[in-house]
Amino acid sequence: MCFRSALFFIVLLLFNITVATAKQPNLMIITEEWAPYNYSLKGVAKGFSVEIVKAIMQELGEQHPISVYPGARAMQLLDNTENVLNFSLFRTPEREKKYKWIGPLSNESIYFYKRADDPREFKTIEDVKAVKAIATPLNGLVFSHLQAQKFTNLSKSHSTLQQLSKLLKNRVDLSISVTPLGKMHYLTKLEQPANAITNTGVKLLEFPLYIACSKELPDSVIKRWQQALDRVIESGKYAKIYDKYLQGKP
């Protein structure tokens, strides 16, 4: 009788595990081209945030492919498809109620950068508005904020590499779009030393980067992923990955 009871308990437990697993939705994990956080290299997703998301999945014992899309397409999927997780997104007040959130993946800021040999000091937004030209992205959140603050000295560039090249070649006074991790990534690509450009200390944006999730995604999934991210941070894995990218050695 005792054996039968134990056997019944084991069968019931296995059944409950199977049912719980079956209830887990099929997740679509997506990101966009924004090195060094997320980008595609020979068709494979790479970057700091990609490594953190993979560490979360490893913690959960799950495997989901990560697809890299153009930014607009990624947002369209997030807005119109169930069970989508899109990273790395700024968690802005405008976006807060549109999605569910997991994170932060990192707390980053967007600063204005100058050449290392530029002796000028910049302390305020008004100081940077007074220069002749600032290299900026063609569009996106950074460009929108610059426009909203009535900047009239913007030199738009097709890529971050082009922006920093303009700065290094003295074609513009300042450049804006990269975080400290981004600075190291692109200077390495340009084969420039880490001190080729310096942070002015003038900040444009400060928003934490998150995984934005479809509103239909069950709260149980959000909770599991958030707890797994917390464990990745507590274990020291997070700091190890961050330091690697901060040194420009992904």
Range list for CATH 3.40.190.10 in the chain: 27-107+208-246, 108-207
pLDDT score for 24 = 73
Q: Choose from 9-13, 72-76, 176-180, 204-208 the range with maximum mean pLDDT.
A: 72-76
Residue 108 banded pLDDT, cuts 50, 70, 90 = confident
Q: Cis omega (within 30 of 0) on the bond before 119? A: no
Closest CA to 214 of 104, 98, 103, 105: 98
What is the pTM for the complete model shown?
0.78
pLDDT level of residue 10 (50, 70, 90 thresholds): low
Q: Residue 18: is its pLDDT beyond 80?
A: no
**By CB neighbour count within 10 A (0-12 exposed, 13-18 middle, 19+ buried), where does 236 fall?**
exposed
Q: In this structure, are residues 209 and 95 in contact, taking their beta carbons and an 8 Å threshold?
A: no
Judge residue 199's burial from the number of C-beta atoms within 10 Å of its C-beta, 0-12 exposed, 13-18 middle, 19 or more buried: middle
Where does 108-207 sit in CATH, by number? Answer: 3.40.190.10
Query: Given this structure, which CATH class describes domain 27-107+208-246?
Result: alpha beta
Residue-wise pLDDT for 45-57, tens only, equals 999 999 999 999 9
